[in-house]
Every structure is written in structure tokens, then in C-alpha cells.
């Protein structure tokens, strides 16, 4: 199981956050369900040293962890606090024989080091500590009995007070306003169950560890204390907000989407319908293709490909996955035209014919940016007890529809789009590493050109007519786009060889770095995929076992879809909820678009001055050795672990941008050779 790495962004929708929003600013959440998995989008999973699973405060087995006085959990990194406010909270039950200081949470290293903070139990009272030059270290007055569960919450208002809450009630405070300017970014580990390794070890059980990058209000602290069992309510399913018939999972969906998910989605297929403006138009005679020189100038000026949004825009506005697929395909089709043009010019040079003008139609007109963002009023995240289900949610046997009764063969059908933090595709097969196998039959460029002239689209890619009538699967389109990128890579490697052979015959040395892209690079989105692949984030996806929707008010006819299964803030449709995902759907999703609320690590860095592009010979050697593109997960990994649609779109664009740089390099070499004739 992978966890999404895309950062949450809050959009304005004309209303304020719910006063008890317990996910706003949550940067670390370790339920300690027998492991140390962080359920937030930051994915800072801990390493368990000795602690074991035990029953939690609700009597649920392996839903808390026991520390025997030597155990601890180490988290190598948590998001930096900097100079900002923060809060920490934990449920605890210390043993009756435990004496002295018992650390619960700490980020510390030795003594007399500024930037340390911690809290725990000392002599049956909550103790909190912060070091910002001077130290503030105090205990609250309330005695908390052993062998019973209690909640400790500590808030750090950096230009105000450090407050201790015992079981949801304020129990002491101290002034820490002098800490406001102190940067608390430190590289030492965050520990659960010890102060520093081997010191003030906790003896007892801990549960539901939370860290926020803001000060929790007294009302929110009380809400933490009164939270019921994770499996007893469906607090995440919210319907009919302000008369809107859209459905929200852990979010109030009052902004025009059919479904808004305050977290990530886990499913086995995602299909979109109603697609328009599919980029077959690139192969029409009327299409104005930019001159590669103009493209080069544009990249140097703006740092991204023309017609695509910049990283800044994607970070701020999010990403439409359909828009990304269309844009990526358009750029691949343009690269194909550039490649065919360079092939023709190479042929003319080899045959020593008089150079003719290119048959391609170039245009210096700047392309307009595509509509990458669904223009709907966006949303604030808010969790609250759900209302009765509105007419927006309907059930057809084992399938669920949102604003539609036509789900086809899909478990969930949604009209008016989906807004989410990310989408994970579980089931993937036939990933195109086969392109680099020895028995793959690659069309010649002549055959490719003939196909395009006859059909006006790339081989293997559905035509605009098919797409507009039948829609397409987002995961299948990603597979096809990767196949075409790999084919283009083979063409460009082959063309690079021909260029070097021709240059030698003409007595031109292209070893000079002004004509040849130098260096190698491992910089890509591989890190994002790697961090998604941790085995300890896996939870078995079980088939629906007959549970019903819990905690939804209203009559059975209007409120219960017996295929919906809830686990607190997590919802499953046709499956048990999957840990770390707000919505899990077994059987696929049919919708008209999906918008990813915010994205990180968009690959504009490829055009940065410090980006080191592999030489084509290095790239060729890597492909021959590994059987896949550098930075792209292998077929075995994809087929076993699945992948995130939004991460794959970014990875596809990274490879398109690299191919663009190779083609620009070839263009310079060709122009120089042509000038020698």
C-alpha cells in the first residue's frame, strides 16, 4: 500500500472552518495500531523498538502500544516547527509501579541544546518542557491515576502561553513569548516513549499520538477527549451541506463537485467520461507547431514547456488529471513531429541533396495555457457529524451513485467531478517495460509517418472520436503514454547515433559540450514512488462482509447503502476502509473528471540550470541494463504496488521534458551540419 505525498491546500469557499476541525494542521498522526504508521499526508512512519500492540481505551485489540520501560519508537523526521506554533496530544495509561519521569513525546538531544521540547508524566502529573535559551519546565497540578486511560494535550503558542490540558480541561500554563523568534528546526530524532534514547523511558500504554502545526483551541482539545472509537461512527461521510447535493468524505462539499474527499482515494480503476478537445488536432494540417528555437527561448524565459502550467501554478491550483493526460499526449505528438522533421533532414544530409524547407508548419505564436483546473468554488476541510443522506447519494444494489443512477459496471459513479488529495490505482497489468525487450517490434519512422498521415493519431492511442464516445481509463492512458515515451526514447537514441556517424563523415566534432548534453542524472520522481512503497503501510483489502453504514441518521431507506462501510473518518465502498486513505472503492470509479487539490515536486526542475541530463549513450546503456527508463518504477513494482495517478502524470511530464532537451540538442547539431553544406 502506498500513501499519497501530495500536500493539502485550502481554498476559499465563502465560509469558515468548523471550530472542531481535528484534521486542520495535523502534521503527524500515529494511532499506534500495533505499528508506527503516520496517517497524515507526510507519511513520517516510525521505527518500533520493542513496543507491542495492546488493547486501547475502547477495549479494541492491538489498537494501542505497550512500552515496558526500555521500548521506544523513533521517527527520523517530522515537519519542521521553525518559529511557528504547535500542539501535541497523546492518550496514555502508565503502570502503577512506574516512578519518576516518564517521557511520552520528545524532540531532544542531550542537555543545554536550544530547540528541545517534550512532555510526559512525572509523579502522576503532566510535565511539559521547552528550551529556547531559557527553559520553561513545569508540571500541571492534577493527579492522574495509574492503570487508567488519560489524555494529555500540550499547546505551544510561541508568542504567548504554553498550556497543559488534562483530559480535555486546561490544567496549567506558562509564558513562552520569548520563544517567538527562535527557530526550532533541528535534525535530531522525534521519540515516542523516551526523552532521549535510554532516558526517562515510559512504562505503560500509549495511543493516538497527534502533532499539529498550530495551537489547538480549548474546544478542539475537548473534542479530542470526547472522540469515540474509530470503528463506532461514520464521522467522515458528510452530505447536503448548505443545500448542495454533493457528497463529502471527511470534508464539507459545498462547492459544486459531485464528490470531495478530504484525503486520498484508493481504487482499482478510474474511468472518465465526457472528454472533449482530445489532441488529435496536433496532426492536422492546420496545427501551428512552434519552431524548436522558439520552444528553446520559451523554456529559457519561463522554465516550463509552452502550453503547460508552471510548477508554481500547479502547486497553488492543483491539477486536473484529464487535463494532464491531454497535455502530455499533445506534447508527445509534437515531439513526434519534431523527430520526423529531423529524420528527413538527416536523410537529406546523408544523401547530399540540396536542402529543402521543412514540411512542418511552425508558428511563433505563444500557446495559451490549457484549463488544468476545474473552475468550481473550492473548499475548506471540515469534519463534523454527518447529516442524513441527501438525494445526491443513491444505491443500486451493490453500486453507489452520486448525482447519478448510471454507474454501469463501476462500484461508484460520480457526476460533476471528484476533488481529492490523490488517487492510488491498485491493480495494474501489462506495464510497458516490454518496449525495451529484444522481441518488441518497433515501427520504422517511415511506417510511423504513414500511420499518422492515414489516421491522424499515434498508433495504439484511441482516436478523438473513440475518446469522446467511450471515455477512457486514467490508468490505461498512463500506460499508453508511458509506452509512447519509451518508443520516442528509442527513436531519439537511434537518431543520436546517426547524427554522430554523420558528423564524423563530415569532419565535425560534436564532443564539445556546446553541442552535446553532458552528465548523468538520477534526479526524478523516483523518491516519491519509493516512499510510497513501504511494506508496513499495507493493509489487506477485504471483500465486503455484510457490515452496514454506522452513525448515519435518518431512515434506512434514505440513509443506508449496505455496500458502504465506515471506520470513523475512513469510508469504504465495496470493501473495508483502507488505512491511510479517506475513501477506498473496490470495483472502480466512473466520473467526469478528478481534480487533485495540490501537488508537490512538479518537474519544472528539468529545465533548471543545475539539472544534469544523462547523455544518450548513458541512457541507452541504462535501458539495456535495467530494461526501463531511469527514475520510472519497474513493471514488477507497478503491477504489485500500483501507483498514484498524479505522481505518474508528473513523471510522464518529466520524461517528456527530458526528450524535449534531447531533441533541442539534436536540432542544434543538425542546424550546424546544414550550415556546413
DSSP per-residue codes, 576-610: ---TT-SEEETT-EEES-EEES-----GGGGGSTT
Number of neighbouring beta carbons within 10 Å of residue 676: 10
Residue 21 pLDDT more than 80? no
More confident: 219 or 297: 219
Q: Which of 272, 270, 266, 227 is nearest to 249 (CA)?
A: 266
Domain boundaries, the chain: 1-18+232-535+590-677, 26-226
Q: Which of 431, 484, 501, 539 is nearest to 673 (CA)?
A: 501
Give me the pLDDT at residue 598, please. Answer: 55
The yes/no answer on whether domain 26-226 falls in CATH 2.60.120.200 is yes
Residue matched to cell numbers 513496543:
51
Residue 493 pLDDT more than 90? no
Residue 637 pLDDT more than 50? yes
Give me the pLDDT at residue 533, please. Answer: 29
Distances from the Cα of 277 to the Cαs of 45, 456, 482, 558, 611, in angstroms?
A: 42, 14, 21, 39, 33
Give me the pLDDT at residue 353, please. Answer: 45
More confident: 657 or 263: 657
Q: For residue 388, list its beta bridge partners.
A: none
Give me the pLDDT at residue 515, please. Answer: 38
Q: How many CA atoms lie within 13 A of 273 on its CB side?
A: 13
Percent pLDDT > 90 in the chain is 15
Residue 250 pLDDT more than 70? no
Mean of pLDDT values over 491-504:
83
Predicted confidence band of residue 382 (pLDDT cuts 50, 70, 90): very low
Instruction: Please say whether the beta carbons of 670 and 499 come within 8 A.
Output: yes
Give me the pLDDT at residue 538, please. Answer: 29
3 state DSSP class of 666: helix
Highest mean pLDDT of the ranges 239-243, 293-297, 381-385, 512-516: 293-297
Give me the pLDDT at residue 375, please. Answer: 30
Give me the pLDDT at residue 426, please. Answer: 66
> Could you give the angle at the alpha carbon of 392 between the alpha carbons of 387 and 398, nearest 5°?
100
Distance separating alpha carbons of residues 210 and 579, to the nearest angstrom: 16
What's the mean per-residue pLDDT of the chain? 73
Residue 492 pLDDT more than 90? no
More confident: 368 or 61: 61
Residue 591 pLDDT more than 70? yes
More confident: 44 or 566: 44
Predicted confidence band of residue 13 (pLDDT cuts 50, 70, 90): very low
Instruction: Please say whether the beta carbons of 418 and 589 come within 8 A.
Output: yes
Mean of pLDDT values over 663-672:
83
Q: Which helix (H) or strand (E) holds 674?
A: helix 645-675
Q: Which of 30, 20, 65 is nearest to 224 (CA)?
A: 20
Instruction: Please say whether the beta carbons of 61 and 229 come within 8 A.
Output: no
Give me the pLDDT at residue 112, please. Answer: 67
Which residues are CB-contacts of 558 (< 8 A; sequence separation ≥ 6)?
388, 389
pTM: 0.54
Mean of pLDDT values over 190-198:
84
3 state DSSP class of 246: strand
Distance separating alpha carbons of residues 209 and 222, to the nearest angstrom: 16
Residue 72 pLDDT more than 60? yes
Q: For residue 472, list its beta bridge partners.
A: 272
Mean of pLDDT values over 278-301:
83
Q: For residue 393, list its beta bridge partners.
A: 402
Distance separating alpha carbons of residues 80 and 85, to the nearest angstrom: 11
Residue 542 pLDDT more than 50? no
Q: 123-174: per-residue pLDDT in tens?
A: 899 998 888 777 888 889 999 988 899 999 999 998 899 999 999 999 999 9
Give me the pLDDT at residue 460, please. Answer: 84
Predicted confidence band of residue 615 (pLDDT cuts 50, 70, 90): confident
Residue 454 pLDDT more than 50? yes
Instruction: Please say whether the beta carbons of 251 and 382 come within 8 A.
Output: yes
Distance of CA 436 to the CA centre of its chain: 28
Give me the pLDDT at residue 660, please. Answer: 82
What sign does the CA torsion over 55, 61, 67, 73 have? Answer: negative
Mean of pLDDT values over 290-307:
82
Which residues are CB-contacts of 469 (< 8 A; sequence separation ≥ 6)?
none
Q: For residue 117, list its beta bridge partners.
A: 107, 130
Distance separating alpha carbons of residues 459 and 453, to the nearest angstrom: 11
Give me the pLDDT at residue 239, please. Answer: 58
Q: What are phi and psi of 264, to 5 degrees?
A: -115, 165
Q: 95-124: per-residue pLDDT in tens?
A: 988 888 899 998 877 666 777 788 999 989
Give me the pLDDT at residue 367, please. Answer: 39
Distance separating alpha carbons of residues 105 and 89, to the nearest angstrom: 9
Predicted confidence band of residue 212 (pLDDT cuts 50, 70, 90): very high
Task: Mean pLDDT check: name the lowest of 257-261, 482-486, 616-620.
Answer: 257-261
3 state DSSP class of 612: coil
Predicted confidence band of residue 383 (pLDDT cuts 50, 70, 90): very low
Q: How many CA atoms lie within 13 A of 148 on its CB side?
A: 7
The conformation of residue 199, written as its DSSP 8-state character, comes to B
Give me the pLDDT at residue 363, please. Answer: 41
User: What DSSP letter does each residue of 168-233 carry, written as one string?
Assistant: TEEEEEEE-GGGTT------SPEEES-SBTTBS--EEEEEEEEEESSPPPHHHHHHHHH---TTT-
Instruction: Please say whether the beta carbons of 410 and 617 come within 8 A.
Output: no
Predicted confidence band of residue 390 (pLDDT cuts 50, 70, 90): very low
Give me the pLDDT at residue 15, please. Answer: 25
Amino acid at each position: 500500500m502506498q500513501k499519497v505525498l501530495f500536500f493539502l491546500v485550502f481554498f476559499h469557499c465563502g465560509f469558515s472552518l468548523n471550530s472542531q476541525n481535528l484534521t486542520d494542521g495535523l502534521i503527524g498522526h500515529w494511532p499506534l495500531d500495533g505499528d508506527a504508521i503516520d496517517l497524515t499526508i507526510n507519511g513520517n512512519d516510525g521505527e518500533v523498538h520493542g513496543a507491542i500492540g495492546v488493547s486501547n481505551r475502547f477495549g479494541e485489540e492491538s489498537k494501542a502500544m505497550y512500552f515496558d520501560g526500555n521500548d521506544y519508537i523513533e521517527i527520523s523526521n517530522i515537519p519542521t516547527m521553525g518559529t511557528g506554533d504547535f500542539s501535541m496530544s497523546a492518550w496514555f495509561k502508565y503502570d502503577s509501579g512506574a516512578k519518576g519521569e516518564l517521557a511520552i513525546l520528545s524532540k531532544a538531544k542531550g542537555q543545554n541544546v536550544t530547540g528541545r521540547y517534550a512532555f510526559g508524566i512525572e509523579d502522576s502529573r503532566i510535565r511539559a518542557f521547552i528550551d529556547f535559551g531559557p527553559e520553561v519546565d513545569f508540571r500541571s497540578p492534577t493527579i492522574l491515576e495509574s492503570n487508567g486511560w488519560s489524555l494529555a494535550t500540550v499547546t505551544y503558542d510561541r508568542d504567548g502561553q504554553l498550556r497543559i490540558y488534562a483530559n480535555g480541561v486546561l490544567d496549567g500554563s506558562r509564558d513562552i513569548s520569548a520563544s517567538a523568534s527562535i527557530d526550532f528546526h533541528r535534525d535530531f530524532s522525534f521519540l515516542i516513549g523516551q526523552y532521549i534514547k535510554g532516558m526517562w523511558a515510559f512504562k505503560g500504554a500509549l495511543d493516538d499520538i497527534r502533532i499539529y502545526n498550530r495551537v489547538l483551541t480549548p474546544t478542539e482539545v475537548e473534542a479530542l477527549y470526547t472522540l469515540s472509537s474509530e470503528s463506532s461512527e461514520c464521522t467522515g461521510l458528510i452530505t447536503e451541506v448548505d443545500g448542495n447535493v454533493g457528497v463529502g468524505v471527511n470534508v464539507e462539499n459545498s462547492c459544486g463537485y459531485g464528490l470531495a474527499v478530504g484525503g486520498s482515494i484508493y481504487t482499482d480503476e478510474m474511468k472518465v467520461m465526457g472528454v472533449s478537445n482530445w489532441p488529435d488536432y496536433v496532426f492536422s494540417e492546420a496545427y501551428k507547431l512552434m519552431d524548436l528555437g522558439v520552444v528553446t527561448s520559451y523554456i529559457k524565459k519561463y522554465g516550463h514547456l509552452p502550453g503547460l502550467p508552471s510548477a508554481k501554478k500547479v502547486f497553488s491550483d492543483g491539477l486536473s488529471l484529464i487535463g494532464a493526460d491531454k497535455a502530455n499526449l499533445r506534447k508527445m505528438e509534437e515531439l513526434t513531429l519534431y523527430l520526423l522533421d529531423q529524420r528527413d533532414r538527416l536523410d537529406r544530409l546523408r544523401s547530399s541533396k540540396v536542402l529543402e524547407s521543412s514540411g512542418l508548419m511552425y508558428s511563433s505564436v505563444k500557446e495559451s495555457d490549457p484549463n488544468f483546473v476545474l473552475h468550481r468554488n473550492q473548499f475548506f476541510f471540515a469534519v463534523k457529524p454527518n447529516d442524513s443522506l441527501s438525494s445526491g447519494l443513491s444505491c443500486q444494489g451493490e453500486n453507489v451513485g452520486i448525482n447519478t443512477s448510471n454507474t454501469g459496471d463501476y462500484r461508484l459513479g460520480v457526476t460533476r467531478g471528484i476533488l481529492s488529495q490523490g488517487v492510488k490505482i491498485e491493480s495494474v497489468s501489462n506495464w510497458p517495460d516490454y518496449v525495451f525487450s529484444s522481441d518488441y517490434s518497433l515501427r520504422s519512422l517511415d511506417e510511423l509517418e504513414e500511420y499518422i498521415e492515414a489516421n491522424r493519431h499515434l498508433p495504439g492511442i484511441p482516436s478523438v472520436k473513440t475518446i469522446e464516445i467511450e471515455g477512457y481509463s486514467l490508468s490505461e492512458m498512463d500506460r499508453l503514454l508511458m509506452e509512447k515515451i519509451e518508443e520516442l526514447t528509442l527513436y531519439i537514441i537511434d537518431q543520436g547515433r546517426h547524427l554522430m556517424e554523420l558528423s564524423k563523415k563530415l569532419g565535425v566534432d560534436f564532443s564539445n559540450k556546446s553541442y552535446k548534453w553532458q552528465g548523468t542524472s538520477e534526479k526524478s520522481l523516483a523518491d516519491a514512488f519509493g516512499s510510497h512503497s513501504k511494506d508496513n503501510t499495507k493493509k489487506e483489502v477485504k471483500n465486503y462482509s455484510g457490515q452496514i453504514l454506522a452513525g448515519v441518521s435518518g431512515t434506512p431507506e434514505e440513509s443506508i447503502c449496505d455496500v458502504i462501510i465506515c471506520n470513523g473518518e475512513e469510508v469504504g465502498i465495496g470493501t473495508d476502509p483502507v488505512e491511510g486513505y479517506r475513501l477506498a472503492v473496490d470495483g472502480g470509479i466512473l466520473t467526469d473528471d478528478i481534480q487533485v487539490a495540490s501537488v508537490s515536486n512538479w518537474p519544472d526542475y528539468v529545465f533548471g540550470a543545475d539539472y544534469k541530463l544523462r547523455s544518450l549513450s548513458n541512457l541507452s546503456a541504462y535501458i539495456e541494463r535495467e530494461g526501463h527508463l531511469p527514475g520510472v518504477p519497474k513493471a514488477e513494482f507497478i503491477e504489485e504496488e500500483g501507483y498514484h495517478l498524479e505522481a505518474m502524470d508528473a513523471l510522464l511530464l518529466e520524461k517528456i521534458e527530458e526528450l524535449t532537451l534531447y531533441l533541442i540538442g539534436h536540432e542544434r547539431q543538425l542546424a550546424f551540419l546544414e550550415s556546413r553544406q
